[in-house]
Every structure is written in C-alpha cells, then in structure tokens.
Amino acid sequence: MNAGLAIVIVSYNTRERTLACLRSARAQPAGIPTELIVVDNDSRDGTVEAIEGELPAVTVIRSGANLGFARAVNLGVAASRAEWVLLLNPDTVVLPGALAALVAFASRHPEYGIYGGRTLREDGSTDPSSCWGAPSLWSLFCFASGLSTAFPHSRALDPESLGHWARDTVREVPIVTGCLLLVRRADFDRVGGMDERFFLYGEDAEFSIRAARYGLRPVIVPEATIIHAVGASTGARGPKMNMVMAGKVTMLRTSWSSARARVGVWLLLTGVRLRSALEAVTRRDDRMWSHVWASRGRWLPGYPAAERTLFGLEPAR
C-alpha cells in the first residue's frame, strides 16, 4: 500500500458529467500521488470509450452489469493500493483547493476517521446533502406526522436536516454521504466496506453508522467544496424516491433491532401515505408521493429484494 489517494467514481450513463468530474479532479491535486478509478456499471452511452479516449491514465473497471453503488465502490477500492480512498460522485465538480484541503485536514486530524465536505448546487447555493443526521424514532415520527415538512430545517422537528447550518464550519456529523467521502483504506477494510445488500441509496448512511461503532467520527471539512448536480444519474423524482425509500427501509432493518425497525418502517409508510393524501387534496401537478405510495409494494421489502421489484434485476450473489 502506498501513501497516495485513490479517487473512486461509480458511473452509469453519465458520460459528460463523469468526464467533467474527472477533469476537475485531475486539475486539483491533492498534494499526494493520486489515482483515478472509475467503475462503470455497464453504461450504454459511451462513457467507457470516452474516458479511455480522452483520459487514458484513468483506471476504468468495466463491471459488466449494473452492480449498484455499494458493490461497485467495493470493487473500485479493491483495485487500489492507496492509503486513502475518496468516494466521489460522477455528477460533481471539484472546486480549487478542495482535495488538498480535505487530505490535509484528515492528515492533521486522524482522530475523526471519516471526512466529508461542503457541496453546492449548480446555482451556487448550499446543497445540504453532503451530510445528515442519523434517523431516530423521533425523526421518523416527525416525518410520519408531517412536522418535518411543515417545519423544514428545524433542529427539533426536522432533526435529520441538521438545522439551518450551512455546512460552512468544521463539525462532527452522524452521516457523511458518498458523494464526497474520504477514509483511510485500512479503516474502510476494518469497518467491512460498503454493505453489498444495498443497491442504491442508504448504503453510505449505513456505512457511517457502522463506522461509528468502530470509533470513527464523521466530520465535515468546509474548505473541501464541490458542486453537486444532485440525482443527475437517477432521473425522475418518483422513481428516485422509490430507491431512497428502499434504502431507508434497508438501513433501518440492518442497523436497528427488529422490533425498533418495524416501528420505524411503519412510520416511514405513514409519512408517505400522509403526503400522498395531501397531494390528492391539493391537486398538485407533481405527484411524487402518490407515485411512491402506489409503488410501496416494490420498495417496502427493501434490498436486496427491491433490486428485482424496482429494477427488474436479480440480486447479485
């Protein structure tokens, strides 16, 4: 293992955004030897050919199938021998100084173990999704009752949002998301990598929660700033939320006791039903929650079963 940095990107039909992400990462040195690894989940838009043609130094791993995020990340990490691993979404652009700031902070502060940054939307506004609070029965009750929607960013009534904090100060958080997540390779292996029962969404939250049990402390480093086109690789809101819900259900069932998880899943389902009913009453044009409620039989089993019900794929063995 060398003292360098491996940047692992999972791509799926995001050719132009993946190329832009790679260009930005290559243009912003981390201060240590860096390798770029792309695990391509059987894209059909010429992603692999475009990378190999323009950026031949990038290591491209052809998965041969859509493995989802967790399995693809593990495949990419396994192909590296670097001391540090950075997970980076293909729909991101690395801003000047971000990689160097993140690696330097991690080197100075090994006591944390998992490091995230600050993400901005394409219009320059703060995107809070670089980190989240951990789910609890209280946060799920707030979702089920509609309180988290009625009082967004309330520290008391929307606790998973972490309040109005703009991600502009160093702060420990329960969950660093996989769009920008730095960890030592040794710690990644010690924690057990990403849980391959997950397909898409929820695996990074479960990883942070599991890592905390090993003494790792996720932290946000605001100088490590990227632009994130949230959800660019997942498409329409209704189908995307089905994936999010499948990930949430799976996270609860893998992280909580069976009795607590049953209550948590019921609260999730109640919150979806409430929002679906409100959409019907208000006759909203965007009927995302109505779609999610109608599709509940597909996401409620969670992964790996939802791989088949949502994507028509047989879970990998």
From CA 313, how far away is CA 283, in angstroms rounded?
34
> Which pLDDT tens digit goes with each residue over 63-80?
999 999 999 999 999 999
> Which pLDDT tens digit goes with each residue over 11-64?
999 999 999 999 999 999 899 999 999 999 999 999 999 999 999 999 999 999
Smallest CA-to-CA distance from 166 within 101, 231, 204, 121 is with: 121
The pLDDT of residue 285 is: 77
What is the residue extent of each domain of the chain?
2-133+162-228, 237-311
Note the CATH architecture for domain 2-133+162-228.
Answer: Alpha-Beta Complex (3.90)
> What average pLDDT does the segment 136-149 reach?
98
At 237, is the pLDDT very low, low, confident or very high (cuts 50, 70, 90)?
A: confident
From CA 241, how far away is CA 296, in angstroms rounded?
11
